[in-house]
Structure formats: structure tokens, C-alpha cells
């Protein structure tokens, strides 16, 4: 339990914003709160801040742990293997910020928050938010924390999309973008999987058009299915075969529709767990933000042009077995960056775990990120 490389017990904080936020959709949030955590110390120059953006089901709780009623560590951060003292993103060097995105269900203002105008949960009335909106909200948080320019903005998957958006919308506020397991836009197949997940939720009779809170209901069936579908796409076929194969749970086939195979048991368990803690409306919002992400849309479909104003240095990482956002999708990003003569490092990690690889502690992957952060650190401190 006593991990010398842990940031230790994390303390989530809330920041309230009362100046209205104009959203991409045209809607407006008059006030909102963001839940965030920080690790490490902001230096006097305020030049060592790194923002870690989260993907679909994660939160501001990036590193460290919480303490249970008996004072024991529980609920470890979702990227605890990446962020901490002596870890690739070293909190002895960097001041790291994790923030729960707007629309989330872990403390930031979202569909399950009370709408001050009505005194009831937002529910279906919570506006659709985009990656741009999240980045704008994160920029305001940075303002309030006195951070003008991030040494790095980093994320995997949807988190990486936020890092990309930062370099486009706030070019002078990002020194480095670390973009892991990303795509510059979703494919039709990606959207299709999101759509089935959303349909599972919205057709659940307990969804009540998104206002299930006031009905005392939770669309658990739908959330559970959404998670099961998602989970299949996070793993590679090979990784699933390696992990579960055709292993039976019992000693013979059951000739029923209950669990026969280990993989069925695993998926049901993942779905059940997820439905206990995640908010269905947030799931809808986040998958929609994924669908809508397409920075080239503003530039007539030209991705290279989308990065015209970008100034950051980039580390782009993909994983060979990731079929959700395959290396091919990272190549598209790298090409667009190079078209703008930006400084780009690219690595394709030969890893068997599929999209989930970005969360795992692959030694080559971590060594690479560590080495990159060494260069970030040197650029802050000045080369020796």
C-alpha cells in the first residue's frame, strides 16, 4: 500500500464559475462548477503545469487514491501508473491537473446537477457539449489557477482529442501536446458503436426521456449494454482470446442463455459495475462529443489547415492492436502536423491490448513518455 511513487491521498476541489460559457451548440451555461485535482507544486514561474484530459468513463481523479472510512487507500486514480513522483509524468517536476469535464457525473456540472433556474436536475435539458467547450472550460480553470501556458496537455483517446483541440484553439497556451491512441475524427463504424450504446440507453424504459432522476429511476439496463459494447471495442480480438479464449465458467456447456463462457461473465460484470456509478445522460453527452469531434470541419475538411495556427511540439503514440483508433488514424494526425512543419515525435507501440493499451503500463510506452517529458522539463528549466 505504501507506494513511494504515489502522489498519496488525493483531494478533489471545486471551482465555481459565474461568467456565462457560450457553447458550440449556441446554448449557454450561466454558471457551472468544475471538479479537479492537482498533484505536485506549481513553480514560481507557473511554467511547469501539465493538464491531463480524461476519456469516456474517467474523471478528475487521475492519480493517487482516496481514503476509505478506516483510512485505507481505495479508488486509485485512472492514470496512477503514469502520474506520480518518479513516474513518466513526474509530479516532482510538474504541477499536474486533472479536471472532470463539463457534463460529467463526478462532481462537475452535468445532467445530474441541480439547475439553479429550476431547482431540479438538468436531466435532458443539459446542453450538448463538445470537445471545444471542454477545452474552453479548462482554459478558464487554468486562468483561475494562474496558468497562462501549459508545459503539456496530455490525454489518451477522447482525452487526446482535447489535447489536439488545445493546440488549435489556444496555440500560445500549450508548449507540448501528448496525444495517445487518438483519431482526428470518428469513422462511421466508431459512430455506429456509439449510436448503438446511446440507443440502448434512450430506449430503456427507465430512461424517461433523460429525466429519470425525478422518476427515481436509473436506466441500468441501457447503461450496462452500452458499457458491454464499449468494452469489446477497447480490447483487441487477440487480447480477448488470450484473456478468455473459449474458457467455460463451469465444466460443461449449459445449453441455456445464461453465462457459459468466461468472456460473458466478464462483460456482464463490467456492465453491472459501470451501471452502478456512471450517469446515463453523461454517457450520451460524452459519446456525442466524440462523434462531433472533427477539427477539420472548420477548414473545409482539410486537417492540415486545421493545425495551421498550432505552435506546440507533439508526441503522438498509437498501438498496433488498437482497432478502435488504429495507427492509421494517428498517421493522419502526424501527416497534418508535419504539413505545418511542426515538431512531431511519433511512436507506434507493438502492444497486444487494443485501445486499452493507453491505460496500461507497457514498458516501452512508458519509457517513451518519460523520455519525452524529460525534454519538456529541459525546455522549462533551460538546457544545462
Question: Which residues are at the interface with a second copy (CB under 8 A)?
Answer: 24-27, 127-128, 185-189, 191-193, 195-196, 198-200, 202-205, 221, 224-225, 228-229, 232, 235, 237, 240-241, 243-246, 253, 255-257, 260-261, 263-264, 267-268, 271, 284, 288, 291-292, 294, 323
Q: How far is the CB of 21 from a second copy (least distance, A)?
A: 15
What is the C-alpha to C-alpha distance for residues 264 and 262, in angstroms, rounded to an integer?
5
Establish whether 157 is a catalytic residue: yes
Nearer to a second copy, 66 or 261 (CB): 261
Nearer to a second copy, 27 or 145 (CB): 27
Nearer to a second copy, 40 or 210 (CB): 210
C-alpha cell at 136: 474552453
Which helix (H) or strand (E) segment holds residue 337: the answer is helix 327-339
Which helix (H) or strand (E) segment holds residue 276: the answer is helix 262-277
Q: Which of 236, 355, 356, 362 is catalytic?
A: 355
Establish whether 331 is a catalytic residue: no
Q: How far is the CB of 326 from a second copy (least distance, A)?
A: 8
What is the C-alpha to C-alpha distance for residues 289 and 56, in angstroms, rounded to an integer?
10
Nearer to a second copy, 331 or 370 (CB): 331
* Contact between 57 and 278 (Cβ < 8 Å): yes
Q: How far is the CB of 168 from a second copy (least distance, A)?
A: 18
Establish whether 362 is a catalytic residue: no
Q: How far is the CB of 25 from a second copy (least distance, A)?
A: 4
**Among 75, 34, 66, which Cα is nearest to 51's?**
34
Q: How far is the CB of 222 from a second copy (least distance, A)?
A: 9
Nearer to a second copy, 267 or 306 (CB): 267
Q: How far is the CB of 257 from a second copy (least distance, A)?
A: 5
Q: How far is the CB of 308 from a second copy (least distance, A)?
A: 21
Taking every pair of Cα atoms in the chain, the longest distance, rounded to a whole number of angstroms, is 69
232 — phi, psi (to 5°)? Answer: -60, -35
What is the C-alpha to C-alpha distance for residues 366 and 81, in angstroms, rounded to an integer?
9
**Among 91, 90, 108, which Cα is nearest to 99's?**
108
Residue 39 DSSP symbol: E
Interacting residues of 303 by C-beta distance below 8 A, sequence separation 6+ = 184, 295, 296, 332, 333, 335, 336
Nearer to a second copy, 64 or 127 (CB): 127
Q: Which of 260, 322, 356, 362 is catalytic?
A: 322
Burial bucket for residue 112 (CB in 10 Å: 0-12, 13-18, 19+)? middle
Which helix (H) or strand (E) segment holds residue 295: the answer is none
Nearer to a second copy, 58 or 263 (CB): 263
Q: Count CA within 13 A, CB hemisphere, residue 366.
A: 17
What is the C-alpha to C-alpha distance for residues 158 and 141, in angstroms, rounded to an integer?
19
What is the C-alpha to C-alpha distance for residues 35 and 95, in angstroms, rounded to an integer?
17
What is the C-alpha to C-alpha distance for residues 382 and 49, in angstroms, rounded to an integer?
16
Catalytic residues: 157, 322, 355
Amino acid at each position: 500500500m505504501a507506494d513511494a511513487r504515489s502522489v498519496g491521498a488525493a483531494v478533489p476541489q471545486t471551482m465555481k464559475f459565474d461568467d456565462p460559457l457560450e457553447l458550440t451548440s449556441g446554448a449557454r451555461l450561466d454558471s457551472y462548477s468544475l471538479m479537479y485535482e492537482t498533484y505536485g507544486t506549481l513553480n514560481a514561474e507557473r511554467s511547469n503545469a501539465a493538464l491531463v484530459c480524461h476519456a469516456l468513463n474517467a474523471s478528475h481523479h487521475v492519480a493517487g487514491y482516496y481514503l476509505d472510512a478506516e483510512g485505507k487507500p481505495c479508488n486509485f486514480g485512472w492514470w496512477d501508473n503514469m502520474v506520480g513522483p518518479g513516474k513518466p509524468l513526474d509530479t516532482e517536476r510538474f504541477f499536474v491537473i486533472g479536471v472532470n469535464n463539463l457534463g460529467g457525473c463526478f462532481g462537475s456540472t452535468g445532467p445530474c446537477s441541480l439547475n439553479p433556474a429550476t431547482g431540479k436536475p438538468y436531466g435532458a435539458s443539459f446542453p450538448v457539449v463538445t470537445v471545444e467547450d471542454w477545452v474552453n472550460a479548462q482554459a478558464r480553470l487554468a486562468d483561475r489557477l494562474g496558468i497562462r501556458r501549459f508545459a503539456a496537455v496530455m490525454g489518451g483517446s477522447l482525452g487526446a482529442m482535447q489535447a489536439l483541440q488545445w493546440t488549435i484553439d489556444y496555440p500560445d497556451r500549450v508548449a507540448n501536446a501528448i496525444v495517445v491512441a487518438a483519431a482526428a475524427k470518428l469513422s462511421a463504424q466508431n459512430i455506429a458503436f456509439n449510436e448503438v450504446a446511446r440507443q440502448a440507453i434512450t430506449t430503456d424504459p427507465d430512461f424517461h426521456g433523460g429525466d429519470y432522476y425525478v422518476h427515481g429511476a436509473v436506466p441500468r439496463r441501457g447503461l450496462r449494454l452500452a458499457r458491454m459494447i464499449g468494452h469489446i471495442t477497447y480490447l483487441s480480438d487477440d487480447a480477448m482470446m488470450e484473456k478468455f479464449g473459449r474458457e467455460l465458467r463451469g465444466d460443461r456447456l449449459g445449453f441455456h442463455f445464461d453465462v457459459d463462457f468466461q468472456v460473458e461473465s466478464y462483460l456482464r460484470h463490467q456492465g453491472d459495475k459501470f451501471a452502478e456509478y456512471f450517469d446515463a445522460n453523461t454517457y450520451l453527452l460524452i459519446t456525442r462529443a466524440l462523434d462531433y469531434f472533427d477539427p477539420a470541419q472548420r477548414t473545409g475538411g482539410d486537417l492540415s489547415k486545421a493545425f495551421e495556427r498550432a505552435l506546440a511540439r507533439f508526441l503522438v503514440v498509437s498501438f498496433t492492436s488498437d482497432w478502435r483508433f488504429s495507427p492509421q488514424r494517428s498517421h493522419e494526425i502526424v501527416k497534418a502536423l508535419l504539413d505545418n512543419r511542426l515538431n512531431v515525435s511519433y511512436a507506434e507501440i507493438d502492444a497486444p491490448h487494443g485501445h486499452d493499451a493507453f491505460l496500461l503500463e507497457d514498458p516501452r510506452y512508458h519509457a517513451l513518455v518519460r523520455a519525452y517529458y524529460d525534454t519538456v522539463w529541459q525546455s522549462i528549466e533551460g538546457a544545462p
